[in-house]
Amino acid sequence: MKILVTGGAGFIGSNFVHLTLEKYPEHEITVIDKLTYAGNKESLKEVIDNISFVEGDICDEDLIDQLVSQNDLIVHFAAESHNDNSIADPSPFIQTNLIGTFIILEAIRKHKKKLHHISTDEVYGDLELDDPSRFTPDTPYNPSSPYSSSKAGSDMLVRAWVRTYGIHATISNCSNNYGPRQHVEKMIPRQITNILIGSKLKLYGKGENVRDWIHVDDHNTAVWQIINKGESGEIYLIGADGEKSNIEVFNLILQEMGKDETWLEHVKDRPGHDLRYAIDNTKLIEELGWSPQYTNFEDGLRATIEWYKKNEAWWKPQKDTTEAKYRKVEA
């Protein structure tokens, strides 16, 4: 199969490329990535000779038309992905997440290719901290931030193109990923690298908010299970029963990196901060037979900390600009 991976120089997309080359070496991979502040070609350095890399924008209609026509399957990761950035400036989120997805859909419709659309559990909004329920594929959409509403809109476009034009597409909505090659703006790498540069950890509010953590490789094996076994038009929720409050994760990072709680700093909370996300993964497990490999969060976190310790050259160039951005909103 010829596979076009959009956003393949980002966190999850680059890990998807690595995993695919390892597990399915028979497939030919082309990556298209705009190399925004979040894209990093270094994330593909070990495999760059085994793929085709195109630096370009998914909003470029002619380029997307050409690339889609040359491939069998499009796995669509490219997005503006960070909530805090979407609050500061929603504009690129509307452009890439909505217009970009529309342009991909039109090329898929024209050339009759297959699409797997990568989305987020944040489209469902949030759950109360004391609510025992979880998100299911039937939970109504109720996004809170400019980021999550742009992702919700992109999902709706995919659903409409399936129903109205009969394109072949699947959608997955995954919970919070962690693992190697994640930008230092995100919660876990930000705290690990803060310790590595001698800065305090930055906790929003009281740290009661809950996220449902999944290792990036588990996300990507689930995506492959959906590509191989999923049905067009179906929605699959991806999660690995990894619920933890932010303060629990911060304490684990402190413990693992040998620091005490004087290293913890409470900073201004995120406006509209979602309380809790939790995924009911029954459909993925029962219908597609998927199961996660990283069932112990502490082990996965330890390996992730090791990766950041060993790969300072990868994250150091992003660190100062990221913290300068945060200083403006956290003051």
Catalytic site positions: 121-122, 147
Q: Closer to ligand NAD at the Cβ: 56 or 207?
A: 56
Query: Are 172 and 135 a contacting pair, CB within 8 Å?
Result: no
- The values of phi and psi at residue 196, to 5°, are -65, -25
Which residues within the stretch 179-218 sit at the binding site for ligand NAD (CB under 6 A)? 183
| The binder of ligand NAD chosen from 21, 36, 200, 204 (CB under 6 A) | 36
Cα separation, 20 vs 29, in Å, equals 9
Which residues within the stretch 108-127 sit at the binding site for ligand DAU (CB under 6 A)? 120-122
Cα separation, 140 vs 131, in Å, equals 16
Query: Are 98 and 79 a contacting pair, CB within 8 Å?
Result: no
Site string for ligand DAU, 200-219 (x = CB under 6 A): --xxx----x-x--------
222 binds ligand DAU (CB under 6 A): no
Q: Closer to ligand DAU at the Cβ: 116 or 202?
A: 202
Query: Are 73 and 3 a contacting pair, CB within 8 Å?
Result: yes
List the beta bridge partners of residue 56: none
Cα separation, 300 vs 292, in Å, equals 12
264 binds ligand NAD (CB under 6 A): no
User: Which amino acid, one-letter code, is at 162?
Assistant: V
The continuous run of DSSP H or E covering 328 comes out as helix 312-330
Residue 246 interface partner, choices ligand NAD, ligand DAU, none, CB cut-off 5-8 Å depending on type:
ligand DAU
Site string for ligand DAU, 134-173 (x = CB under 6 A): ----------------------------------------
Residue 118 interface partner, choices ligand DAU, ligand NAD, none, CB cut-off 5-8 Å depending on type:
ligand NAD
Which residue do the tokens 């998807």 mark? Answer: 16
Which residue do the tokens 């230092």 mark? Answer: 184
Which residues within the stretch 279-318 sit at the binding site for ligand DAU (CB under 6 A)? none
149 binds ligand NAD (CB under 6 A): no
Range in contact with ligand NAD (rule: CB under 6 A) among 74-82, 163-171, 270-278, 283-291? 74-82
Size of site (CB under 6 A) for ligand DAU:
19
Q: State the nearest-atom distance from the C-beta of 94 to ligand NAD, in Å.
A: 11
User: Which residue's C-beta sits nearest to ligand NAD?
Assistant: 10
Q: Closer to ligand DAU at the Cβ: 62 or 265?
A: 265
Cα separation, 326 vs 53, in Å, equals 31
Q: Closer to ligand DAU at the Cβ: 65 or 330?
A: 330
Helix axis angle for 146-165 and 101-111, nearest 10°, is: 20
322 binds ligand DAU (CB under 6 A): no
118 binds ligand NAD (CB under 6 A): yes
96 binds ligand DAU (CB under 6 A): no
CA 277 and chain centroid, separation: 14
User: Which residue's C-beta sits nearest to ligand DAU?
Assistant: 120
User: Both ends of the chain: CA-CA distance in Å?
Assistant: 50
The continuous run of DSSP H or E covering 184 comes out as none
Let me know if 324 is exposed, middle or buried by CB neighbors in 10 A (0-12, 13-18, 19+).
exposed
